[in-house]
Structure 1
Amino acid sequence: MNEFQEAILKGIPTKLPAKKPLDPNVSHAPKRKDILTPAEKKLALMNALRYFPKENHDLLAPEFLEELNTYGRIYMYRLRPDYKMVARNLEAYPHQSKQAAAIMLMIQNNLDPAVAQHPHELITYGGNGAVFQNWAQYLLTMQYLATMSNEQTLAMYSGHPMGLFPSHKEAPRVVVTNGMVIPNYSKPDDWERMNALGVSQYGQMTAGSYMYIGPQGIVHGTTITVMNAARKVAAPGENPFAGKLFVTSGLGGMSGAQPKAGNISGVITVAAEINPKASRKRHEQGWVDELFSDLDELVIRVREAKEKKEVVSIAYEGNVVDVWEKFHQENIKIDLGSDQTSLHNPWAGG
């Protein structure tokens, strides 16, 4: 048995690992609202400390309170594993059930820094689409999955493993639900409060269900949208795509497919992204062809592409409003304008 398998089977270690500093090489979630009352902060700490024996509470309580005050959430960075977070071959996972091993693979894919939007805050996409609320939940869930049999089912609620229950081989290995709240308590601030308390999370569609497949999941719909929009504004007999300029914003987990959709459609795409880590990730992964951070250079490149009727996608690192204003000043015609922001989280989405 190797170190990775031993770590998975250990779950939350009896001897706590050293406190971990924030990794500057990874994109981190923005600070959430400081929305809890003093009494609610005490409850949030109690909810977080329930994963640990009492002898660790004196050490962890001030640390978790610091995280809550600094970030608006308790992520338990100390417990983030040292092993590489990447989907492995099934046989690399300790398991009694191959179905459970497959779920471990899916979880690690969702948290892979090459995939996830804010991996150390366990956010896969959309700004707050969470796999787990904290690293204790991750460790416990992986331990359960490694030790369960095909005669058991793991019940999950908002990242919290409720426990293993007797079932049978034809039953689901895992039953997952996220963010189960009633309408009267489902306003954005209600979500913020419940998430900060550690009692509910927004799992999006494929983050909290462990099945995220990246921007490829929305290439098709985005491509059809761009193509039909171009056809709609084209003059009779005109090629609706060649040399046409598509300006949009967003290169995060929900919007990273836009440049590829533009290329498939045969247009020139300029996608503005305010987070350099997101734009560079998409460039490294081949979702966007070129990167610019200077508006004057961007103007020169777009003029060249329009003149040659190139099919090219360009990421601009900055605010899309600046792009629109600059193109207006430079008399560059924008044929198609769009935006792909997470409407559930417009200020910190992805």
Structure 2
Amino acid sequence: MPDWDESVDHAPPRRQVLTTTEKQLALRNALRYFPTEQHASLAGEFLQELNTFGRIIMWRYRPTAYEMKAHPIQQYPAKSQQAASIMLMIQNNLDPAVAQFPHELITYGGNGSVFQNWAQYRLVMSYLCKMTDEQTLVMYSGHPLGLFPSSSDSPRVIVTNGMMIPNASTQDNYERLNALGVTQYGQMTAGSYMYIGPQGIVHGTTITLLNAARAHLGLNGDEGLGGVTFVTSGLGGMSGAQAKAAVIAGASCIVAESNAHAAYKRHQQGWLSTVCEDVDDAINQMVSAAEQKKPLSVGYIGNIVELWERLVERGIRVDLGSDQTSLHNPFQGGYFPIGYSYDAAASMLSDDPEKFAHEVRATLRRHASAINSMSENGMYFWDYGNAFLLEASRAGADIMADNGRFKYPSYVEDIMGPMCFDYGFGPYRWVCCSGDSNDLKVTDDIACEVLEEMLGQSPPEIRQQMIDNIRWIRGAGENEMVVGSQARILYADDEGRRRIASAMNSAISSGRISGPIVL
């Protein structure tokens, strides 16, 4: 049995949602992976996990004989290079440097799962070792249905996650079915094996900040955000991009994070300038940096509402504000209530879930009230697609306008839609499977060459987007964004994606790039 590792962050225990009869079903579902003669010895262990953590994780099957990370592709014992690349991507999603709760198989977002348990991981890796280029592995919420005959032009893996009948698709039903072991929430890139660390959304976040300032603070296209202040929350797998993006754009910011482990992890990885546990110290550092037009990201270890309310009390004007707490999962650890330490709130979540939910709703009401006060003082606030406005409205917060709509826009409708998505620009990610940082540098150079060639032919309405993207890829290496696999994020349109991919393919054929690339 692997030892409990305190060096990695662990998911808080989930609330108990199963009846005694349902727990028996959860055990049967877990034991199906093992020979009948092993059931008696495993059943008690799995039941203890279910009673302690609210789910069966199968700790004993977590691998410890090798390092969990993206290894160079040639090190994977696979018959198919495509299968080997999938093994690389899976292990990157579970790398302790990358994943939020690696030993619980959660990559980001509090519940974005790669698999439901370690037996599924081991089975899938075994299948991928055996797979040929004329087979397809079919996955259902972490459960491998098996290898099926297909053609070399077919997908090597078909993945579904979170399959719920819409009429029964409630939070309570999902939590029950997840505890039973029959569904999981894979987020966008956790359960699909495509996560590239916090870098995954940092380009989009940088573009969001730049265009929010251009539209609402009157900055022109060539200006950085020197002197601009930004306050938000979340230093997790996705939200952690905010601090790095703010510094790249030139702003000074505070990012609140309840989980000290997450904050210090981002600081150690170079994604956060400094960490503070005193709210006034955090505010003073942001204000001082803004006065000097100095890029700075301050990680405040504490509740975001404490930060907002203190900013209101001190009369500090903030230019830009948002939120990236995991409010898609408000009552299972995605959002923590004010007035409690992280550990105390985590204990309340499992010991007294009704009180936890009550405190979360009360905190959301205070959260919205503080944002309203800051907005009245000139701050531009947007919803970052994390369900903040939705959950605040459900909690009874003052978040609705007189016309029945939300007071604040989402970043899609107000910023990224008009500037990027409407023109076909979106996140384009690639991973250099050799693990060689020089290969990544070559791909950066190739992408820059392609975009510079395209810029001269671009219509006026997308010239600024092209200029932003060229500036981004030129500075990508020096911004030191790699966490885990040698990967890159770049916003590109359809033509840009195809031309960059073709150029990278030619570079692999000529030997300029030493190994295959996952797009």
1:262 lines up with 2:281 in the alignment = no
Contact kept, 8 Å, 1:87 with 1:106, in 2: the verdict is yes
1:194 lines up with 2:177 in the alignment = yes
Deviation at 1:91, TM superposition (A): 1.5
Choose the corresponding residue for 1:124, options 87, 98, 107: 107
1:214 alignment partner, SS class? coil
| Partner residue, 1:5 | none
How does the TM-score come out when normalised to structure 2?
A: 0.61
Choose the corresponding residue for 2:93, options 110, 130, 133: 110
Choose the corresponding residue for 2:81, options 93, 98, 104: 98
2:49 alignment partner, SS class? helix
AA at the equivalent of 1:110: N
- Larger mean Cα displacement after TM superposition, 285-294 or 295-304: 295-304
Deviation at 1:328, TM superposition (A): 3.0
Q: Which structure would you say has the larger RCO, counting Cα contacts within 8 Å and 6 or more residues apart?
A: 1
Structure 1 residues not aligned, in runs of 5+? 1-18
Choose the corresponding residue for 2:41, options 59, 64, 68: 59
1:329 lines up with 2:329 in the alignment = no
Q: Which has the higher helix share?
A: 2
Work out the CA distance in 2 between the residues paired with 1:137 and 1:172.
20
AA at the equivalent of 2:54: G
Structure 2 residues not aligned, in runs of 5+? 336-519
% identity of equivalent residues: 62
Choose the corresponding residue for 1:181, options 137, 158, 164: 164
1:267-306 matched pairs, under 5 angstroms: 267-306=251-290
1:131-210 matched pairs, under 5 angstroms: 131-210=114-193
| Partner residue, 2:323 | 339
Work out the CA distance in 2 between the residues paired with 1:193 and 1:81.
28
2:198 alignment partner, SS class? helix
Work out the CA distance in 1 between the residues paired with 2:88 and 2:70.
5
CA distance 1:232–1:170, shift in 2 (3 Å):
closer
Deviation at 1:236, TM superposition (A): 8.9
Work out the CA distance in 1 between the residues paired with 2:230 and 2:71.
38
AA at the equivalent of 1:231: R
1:241 lines up with 2:225 in the alignment = yes
Q: Deviations over 1:95-149 (max 9, x none)?
A: 1111111110010000001111110010111111111000000001001111122
Work out the CA distance in 2 between the residues paired with 1:211 and 1:235.
37
Work out the CA distance in 1 between the residues paired with 2:150 and 2:225.
55
Deviation at 1:284, TM superposition (A): 1.7
AA at the equivalent of 1:160: H
Contact kept, 8 Å, 2:8 with 2:96, in 1: the verdict is yes
CA distance 1:344–1:329, shift in 2 (3 Å):
closer
1:199-238 matched pairs, under 5 angstroms: 199-234=182-217
| Partner residue, 1:44 | 26
AA at the equivalent of 1:32: R
Deviation at 1:225, TM superposition (A): 2.5
Q: Deviations over 1:58-89 (max 9, x none)?
A: 11111111111111110000100012101111
AA at the equivalent of 1:287: W
Work out the CA distance in 2 between the residues paired with 1:229 and 1:209.
31
User: What RMSD in Å do the two structures reach over aligned CA positions?
Assistant: 1.9
2:145 alignment partner, SS class? strand
**How many residues of Structure 1 are paired with residues of Structure 2 in the alignment?**
331
How does the TM-score come out when normalised to structure 1?
A: 0.89
| Partner residue, 1:32 | 14
Work out the CA distance in 2 between the residues paired with 1:213 and 1:95.
22
AA at the equivalent of 2:118: W
AA at the equivalent of 1:313: S
Work out the CA distance in 2 between the residues paired with 1:205 and 1:63.
32
